[in-house]
């Protein structure tokens, strides 16, 4: 029962982020969840996501188009929020992403991508 409740909370929070925050919120939420699941902390509060992803895979996780994800990721890169190289993403300002979607700081067992 505890496992079912945790899974239910994961799905509810993901749907909330996808529906209430729009496409931008869906991307930011996905990046936060990826950092919680696959993130490796580096110096200067940056987080390296140790999972190679294409823009198409990220778009599928966000339930949006690849072109929209390309634009939003490039905008985040231009503002030095993230950087990416060979499919690996590094988040430089996680707090910005959390502030933009009014992150509730869910427990890590709920705010995950898996």
Residue 10 reports pLDDT greater than 80:
no
Kindly report the average pLDDT of the chain as a whole number.
88
Q: What is the pLDDT of residue 49?
A: 94
Residue 84 reports pLDDT greater than 80:
yes
Cα–Cα distance for residue pair 96/40, rounded to 1 Å = 18
Give bridge partners of residue 87 from the DSSP assignment: none
Q: What is the pTM of this model?
A: 0.86
| 8-state DSSP, 39 | E
Between 22-38 and 2-20, two packed helices, what is the crossing angle to 10 degrees?
140
Q: Let me know: does 31 contact 62? Beta carbons within 8 Å.
A: no
Q: Which domains does the chain have, with CATH numbers?
A: 2-100 (1.10.10.10)
């Amino acid at each position: 029962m505890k496992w079912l409740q945790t899974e239910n909370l994961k799905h509810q929070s993901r749907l909330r982020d996808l529906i209430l925050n729009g496409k931008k919120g869906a991307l930011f939420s996905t990046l936060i969840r990826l950092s919680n699941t696959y993130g490796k902390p580096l110096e200067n509060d940056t987080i390296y996501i140790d999972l190679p992803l294409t823009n198409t895979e990220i778009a599928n996780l966000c339930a949006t188009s690849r072109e929209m994800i390309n634009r939003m990721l490039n905008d985040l890169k231009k503002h030095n929020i993230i950087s990416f190289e060979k499919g690996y993403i590094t988040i430089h300002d996680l707090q910005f992403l959390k502030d933009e979607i009014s992150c509730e700081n869910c427990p890590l067992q709920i705010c995950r991508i898996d």
